[in-house]
Amino acid sequence: MMIGYLFAALALAAALTKAYCSKKSSIYVRDIRENTFSNGIRMLFCIGIGLGFVLAEGGNLAADPGTIAIALLSGVSSAVHITTWLSATKRGALMLLNIFYLSGVLVPLLLCYFLYDEPIRPIQWAGLAVLMAAVYFMCSYNKSLGGKLTVSSLVILVVCAITAGLMDFTQKMFLYHDPEGSISVFNLYTYIFSAVVLLGIYGYSKYRDSRKTGTAVVFTGEKRLMGEIFWYIVVMAVCMFANSWFKTSAAAYLTSVQLYPLYQGASLILLSVMSAVFFREKITVSSAVGIVLAFVSLIMMNLL
């Protein structure tokens, strides 16, 4: 079990670095087209890294239809998630995004409970209730930073949380489907499907706008964007691959209720500190209560 917690810690370190780069790079991305373009390029880097790992393991790219189907669900969820994540970071507080992201743990926990009979003890159910209380307290945090949570922002946050939960669930789903399967192969196909979705949306919007205006397709904005965020994309690609690989590996040793609340709760606490230090987001009374409750829920679900 300790090796599972080690893998989770390494996944968390990669996620923190990726979140920092995502927040920093978001100021250069102006619209959904540039969003899908930059994330599509990031996925291409992930494909390259994943292919390198597969070749190092022997170069066997074979995968059964079940694995391909799970990777498709994972890739589509990933594409939607990273798009809504960047949109959410441009709209408001990183800490508010993190608490909604935290609520997404209910997706893999409940699906694994009902589909795979993964046990959830009474104290862990109580811990989940405390976790949802943390979400409630953190929802008021956005008001202290300048205003009311709009319907469109709320929808983006909810979609971001659900797709994050589906990404976690597909990791467990793959392990139950093929316990001896290659994590690198599964991740590679996930990145391929995600890249296809992102670059497909980008290409469609690019040429649709070109036909609408009757002008030739130009890539001036893309050249500007790549010059500004290229190294952010490279670092995020490496961190995204590391995060996915280590978290899937951790899922082989820990149950969903042990892994995902721990991972997201620790992420909330550390990202809140990062937001305050690097992005000058104030920790209010409500956000502090939310962080404390999240910490208590971690103890209840993993140590009691």
Give residue 289's pLDDT. 80
Give residue 35's pLDDT. 83
Q: Find the domain containing 253 and state its range.
A: 2-302
- Alpha-helical runs (H) found in 178-255: 183-213, 220-251
Give residue 171's pLDDT. 92
Of the candidates 274, 260, 216, the residue with the CA atom closest to the CA atom of residue 127: 260
Task: List, for residues 59-98, the tens digit of each pLDDT value.
Answer: 889 899 999 999 999 999 999 987 887 677 665 555 566 6
pTM: 0.83
Count of domains in the chain? 1
Residue ranges in the chain whose pLDDT is less than 50: none
Whether 32 and 202 have beta carbons less than 8 Å apart is answered as: no
Q: What is each CA distance from 50 to 59, 188, 240, 241, in whole angstroms?
A: 11, 5, 11, 7
